[in-house]
Amino acid sequence: MSAKMTAKISAKTLRYLIVIGLIALWELLPRTGLIPELFLPSLSSTLIAGWSDAAEYGHALAVTLYEVVVSMAFACGGGILLGAVVGSLPRPRVLIMPMVSSLYAVPLVILYPVFTVWLGIGSESKIAFASIYGFLPTMLATAAGIQTIDPQLLLAARSMGATLTQRLVRVIIPAAIPTVLSGLRVGGALVIVGVVVSEMLISSAGIGYLISRYRTILDSPHVFAGVLLVLFMAIAFNAAIRWIERKAAIWQTGTRAGQANDEIASGAMQPAT
Amino acid sequence: MGENAMQPLANVTPLKPPARAGAIEVKNVGQVFKTRSQDVVALEDVSLEVKPGRFVVLVGPSGCGKSTLLMMMAGLRQQTSGTITISGAPIPEPDPDRVGVVFQEASLFPWLTAEDNVEFPLALRGVPKAERRTKAQDALKLVGLDGFGKRHPHELSGGMKQRVSIARGLVQDPPVLLMDEPFAALDEQTRMTMGDELLRIWAATGKTVVFVTHSLTEAVYLADEVIVMSARPGRIVDHLQVQLPRPRTYEMLSGDAFGALRDRIWRHIRKSA
């Protein structure tokens, strides 16, 4: 047990050490001239570049965040809703699932130029693109989550007199939460990717636009300041998902998604029959 | 009405005589599954009568419809022909006041604690929290799980999970308990222990129990009566009275009387398999 504990602690410490090491390398490698500043500007010059144009970056961040939040609402809300319908009704499942699955394999970014024709180069086209981009995995995961609910659970609920609504609220939703959450994690990450990429391709605002513009004038510190902002956004999103997962930890235990946590939790106690 | 209320209680004839509570009557029941290519006759002309407080075991080869018969007694499935009455009335839908059902171990809700699992049927009908808690704790105490209420199913062993399932089936105090291969997923030792535990609970509560199993030893060990069914279409081929004294003991397993009963069941099953 104690060996396990120390292994766990040192793994965490190691992670921090790696991050600190990478940050140090980011500063040192360009400073010592091992990597030209054009390819990798040092951390300090990146931060200074970002700070000196804080207003510009702030505005770009606001635009990008707005697009991300709206797309996230469409992608996750729509994905969960449609996934639930498709997952619980056999006919639409047979009709729609193969189409959605093959659509998921298409690099959707090829559609983005079409969206700009339809919706202009403002936020609307980014939101449309990122929504669809993040919608697919969320929907697929939700449908799978609902489909894989153990029929025994529903039968048991019925034997106890549960109505259809009670089965939905008390069995289907809690049983689907772990799979839906893993879908949200992928879908949400793709929304961020979708927004930033579409901003980099054709746009007039946002962090992706700044990165792309500064790259064309070879201003590496400003490019990396934008990259850093996107990085923080991804980290913040990840933290948010983790928070939700912790809130739903009770649901996760005992299901496949929670099995890794289970082993740690139940390793300590082996109850008798 | 006023006059009736004035009459002494002894003169009032109750609508349902208490003697019938827990009685099960199955009359000429048939079950036909319609598939695309053909109609499959799962059960044919099954009739049986279970007196209140009896422990009856259904055995038969796989696919003989014994589980189907149990599901019909639970109101989870409707027969194609014939009638089934529980405590004197038909059972068109699940009625947890009359019938508790215990499934295989997968039927506990993994996101709920043992206590909440037992409370589930009460929560469905809006029983107040305090009353629910008391009843759940009583039921857990009855099955020997006092103090384990706060654990989740994944923190319990297979045997303990089935105790929780039994507690959940008994929490509304129905006169009939139906058990669908409840110990099939357990290892041999746990299975023996749980058999003894079930007999103890049965003796303490006086419920009518109908128990489906594949195990001939389990059937003879537990039952007052064993009903043997044939392979599809399921029919009753034998109805044995097990006259072994109670409490049943491990030593009886090797006795002649026990062996004779088990052999008789086996001969039926071998014939139809």
Residue of A nearest to B160 (CA): A273
| Residue of A154, A155, A158, A159 best to disrupt the B interface, most CBs of B under 10 A | A159
Put simply, whether A169 touches B (Cβ < 8 Å) is no
ipTM: 0.85
Output the pLDDT for position A7. Answer: 57
Under 8 Å between Cβ of A126 and A67: yes
Of B94, B106, B123, the CB nearest to A159: B94
Mean pLDDT lowest for which of A45-49, A230-234, A266-270?
A: A266-270
- Which of residues 2 through 41 in chain B touch A, CB cutoff 8 A? none
Put simply, whether B250 touches A (Cβ < 8 Å) is no
Summarize pLDDT for A156-192 with one digit per residue, the tens.
999 999 998 899 889 988 888 888 888 888 899 999 9
Distance CA B101, CA B47 (A): 21
Put simply, whether B125 touches A (Cβ < 8 Å) is yes
Which helix (H) or strand (E) segment holds residue B55: the answer is strand B55-59
Summarize pLDDT for B211-262 with one digit per residue, the tens.
999 899 999 999 999 999 988 788 888 898 988 888 888 888 888 888 999 9
Distance CA A192, CA B211 (A): 56
Residues of B in contact with A155 (CB under 8 A): 76, 103, 107
Distance CA A55, CA B207 (A): 76
Put simply, whether B121 touches A (Cβ < 8 Å) is yes
Residue of A nearest to B73 (CA): A159
Of B74, B154, B156, the CB nearest to A159: B74
Report the percentage of chain B scoring pLDDT > 90: 43
- Of residues B263 and A249, more confidence is placed in B263
Output the pLDDT for position A264. Answer: 36
| Residue of B76, B109, B122 best to disrupt the A interface, most CBs of A under 10 A | B109
Output the pLDDT for position A244. Answer: 84
Q: Between A and B, how many CB-CB pairs are < 8 A? A: 86
Instruction: Give the mean model confidence (pLDDT) for residues B202-218.
Output: 92
| Residue of B107, B151, B194 best to disrupt the A interface, most CBs of A under 10 A | B107
What rounded mean pLDDT belongs to chain B?
Answer: 87
Distance CA A197, CA A33 (A): 31
Output the pLDDT for position A31. Answer: 87
Instruction: Give the mean model confidence (pLDDT) for residues A189-201.
Output: 92
Mean pLDDT lowest for which of B32-41, B133-142, B205-214, B248-257?
A: B32-41
- Which of residues 121 through 150 in chain A touch B, CB cutoff 8 A? 150
Q: How many CA atoms lie within 13 A of B116 on its CB side?
A: 13
Put simply, whether B107 touches A (Cβ < 8 Å) is yes
Residue of A nearest to B113 (CA): A250
Residues of B in contact with A271 (CB under 8 A): 148, 151, 155-157, 160
Residues of B in contact with A161 (CB under 8 A): 94-96, 121, 124-125
Interchain contact, A170 vs B121, CB within 8 Å: no
Residue of A nearest to B101 (CA): A159
Residue in this structure with the two tokens 């086996």, named with its chain if needed: B266
Distance CA B8, CA B116 (A): 43
Residues of B in contact with A160 (CB under 8 A): 94, 96, 101, 120-121, 124, 168
Under 8 Å between Cβ of B244 and B257: yes
Provide the shortest C-alpha distance from residue A153 to chain B (in Å): 5
Instruction: Give the mean model confidence (pLDDT) for residues A222-249.
Output: 88
- Of residues B62 and A126, more confidence is placed in A126
Interchain contact, A161 vs B152, CB within 8 Å: no
Name the token pair of B97.
Answer: 């006041």
Instruction: Give the mean model confidence (pLDDT) for residues A6-13.
Output: 72
Provide the shortest C-alpha distance from residue B39 to chain A (in Å): 22
Give A249's pLDDT tier (boundaries 50, 70, 90). Answer: low
Distance CA A80, CA A143 (A): 8
Put simply, whether B160 touches A (Cβ < 8 Å) is yes
Provide the shortest C-alpha distance from residue A71 to chain B (in Å): 31
Give A250's pLDDT tier (boundaries 50, 70, 90). Answer: low
Instruction: Give the mean model confidence (pLDDT) for residues B139-166.
Output: 90
Residues of A in contact with B152 (CB under 8 A): 250, 253-254
Put simply, whether B76 touches A (Cβ < 8 Å) is yes
Instruction: Give the mean model confidence (pLDDT) for residues A222-241.
Output: 91
Q: Is the pLDDT of residue A258 over 60?
A: no
3-class SS letters over B176-200: EEEEECCCCCCCHHHHHHHHHHHHH
Q: Is the pLDDT of residue B5 over 50?
A: no
Instruction: Give the mean model confidence (pLDDT) for residues A89-93.
Output: 78
Output the pLDDT for position A3. Answer: 54
Provide the shortest C-alpha distance from residue A154 to chain B (in Å): 8
What rounded mean pLDDT belongs to chain A?
Answer: 83
Summarize pLDDT for B77-94 with one digit per residue, the tens.
998 999 999 998 899 999
Q: Is the pLDDT of residue A72 over 70?
A: yes
Under 8 Å between Cβ of B159 and B190: yes
| Residue of A149, A155, A160 best to disrupt the B interface, most CBs of B under 10 A | A160
- Of residues B143 and A100, more confidence is placed in B143
Distance CA B104, CA B96 (A): 18
Q: Is the pLDDT of residue A253 over 70?
A: no
Interchain contact, B159 vs A273, CB within 8 Å: yes
Residues of A in contact with B144 (CB under 8 A): none
Residues in chain B: 273
